[in-house]
């Protein structure tokens, strides 16, 4: 039986490295513009959402009468979760786990940069200024990772390996866990925020996590604490964050995601000495696209055999069922 895969957001195989590894029974069609979607979806049963073109992937599943499965190229699927997809029989998978270690490395880099004053040191270097100041000792510092899926767990393992004390926060409280000292329920956030030196936001974007961090939460944090957000910009109230930084309620922020992307040129965050801004690149590394395609190819083989798919999303809750 021939299966038809529509790759949205790509002109051809040159845009999707490794797609040639698909079994020969698979017919692949590429869609690079909205007006190509309708014709491409005729008879198609699989959509591979490529290039983070959310709107195009949405048009594709709506145009496909025989569509059975959508695979997304990233981990975050919040922008895909329209009511018609949620209520449909279409299966949804994502690329969870393909960048977990790399995002943990990025988190480690931000923590080290803050603790060892690297932004200030680099600024002084550019001005030829010799300024001697103490830095922070990381061993024994406390970290709260909000979101205990594959990325959050990898962050905990990596930070724990250099001596930080890492707790997690997920949907439910767990007194013991192989990767965290303990896991608190998300409803306990305000109770525990005052005790951590670093707070890492790695939760999925859901109605429950929208603006989870606001003025109240920043006021509860240590004045020496830093927040790191690699998840979604909408989880943190940006205006409240800027106010908290200006008032000294927290010591700094490492931000890879923002409420509006690209971050507007007039955002105060660009010019704050205690903020590190990165352009949503924490999970992107040389060769990562090939890793994402390899996962999709493996899932296609499973699909053809009738085996369970990797990273099957619970559409009702909006994320991988075992990851929170």
- First-to-last C-alpha distance (Å) of the chain: 37
Dihedral, CA atoms, 26, 32, 33, 39, nearest 10 degrees? -20
Which residues does 201 contact at the CB level (< 8 Å), separation at least 6?
146, 147, 212, 213, 227, 228, 229, 230, 231, 235, 236
Would you name the residues annotated as active-site residues?
Answer: 232, 261, 280
- The number of beta carbons lying within 10 Å of the beta carbon of residue 101 is 17
Three-class HEC string of the chain: CCEEEEEECCCCHHHCCCHHHCCCCEEEEEECCHHHHHHHCCCCCEEEECCCCHHHHHHHHHHCCCCCEEEECCCCCHHHCCHHHHHCCCEEECCCCCCHHHHHHHHHHHHHHHHCCHHHHHHHHHCCCCCCCCCCCCCCCEEEEECCCHHHHHHHHHHHHCCCEEEEEECCCECCCCCCCCEEEHHHHHHHHHHCCEEEECCCCCCCCCCCECHHHHHHCCCCCEEEECCCHHHECHHHHHHHHHHCCCCEEEECCCCCCCCCCCCHHHHCCCEEECCCCCCCCCCHHHHHHHHHHHHHHHHHHCCCCCCECECCCCECCCCC
């Amino acid at each position: 039986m021939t299966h038809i895969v529509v790759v949205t957001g790509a002109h051809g195989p040159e845009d999707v490295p490794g797609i040639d590894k698909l079994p020969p029974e698979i017919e692949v069609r590429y869609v690079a513009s909205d007006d190509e979607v309708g014709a491409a979806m005729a008879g198609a049963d699989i959509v591979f959402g490529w290039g983070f073109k959310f709107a195009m992937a949405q048009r594709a599943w709506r145009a496909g009468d025989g569509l059975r499965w959508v695979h997304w190229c990233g981990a975050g699927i919040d922008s895909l979760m329209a009511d018609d997809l949620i209520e449909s029989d279409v299966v949804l998978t994502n690329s969870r786990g393909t960048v977990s270690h790399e995002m943990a490395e990025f988190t480690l880099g931000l923590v080290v940069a803050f603790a060892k004053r690297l932004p200030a040191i680099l600024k002084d270097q550019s001005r030829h200024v010799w300024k001697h100041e103490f830095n922070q000792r990381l061993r024994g510092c406390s970290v709260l990772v909000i979101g205990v899926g594959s990325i959050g767990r990898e962050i905990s393992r990596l930070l724990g390996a250099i001596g930080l004390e890492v707790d997690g926060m997920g949907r439910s409280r767990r007194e013991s866990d192989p990767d965290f000292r303990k896991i608190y329920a998300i409803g306990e956030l305000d109770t525990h925020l005052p005790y951590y030196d670093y707070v890492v936001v790695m939760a999925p974007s859901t109605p429950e996590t929208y603006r989870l961090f606001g003025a109240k939460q920043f006021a509860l944090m240590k004045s020496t604490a830093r927040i790191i957000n690699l998840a979604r910009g909408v989880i943190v109230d940006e205006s409240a964050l800027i106010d908290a930084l200006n008032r000294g309620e927290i010591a700094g922020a490492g931000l890879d995601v923002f409420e509006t992307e690209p971050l507007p040129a007039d955002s105060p965050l660009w010019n704050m000495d205690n903020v590190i801004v990165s352009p949503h690149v924490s999970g992107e590394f040389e060769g990562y696209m090939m890793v994402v395609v390899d996962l999709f190819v493996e899932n296609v083989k499973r699909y053809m055999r009738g085996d369970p798919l990797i990273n099957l999303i619970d559409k009702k809750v909006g994320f991988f069922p075992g990851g929170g």
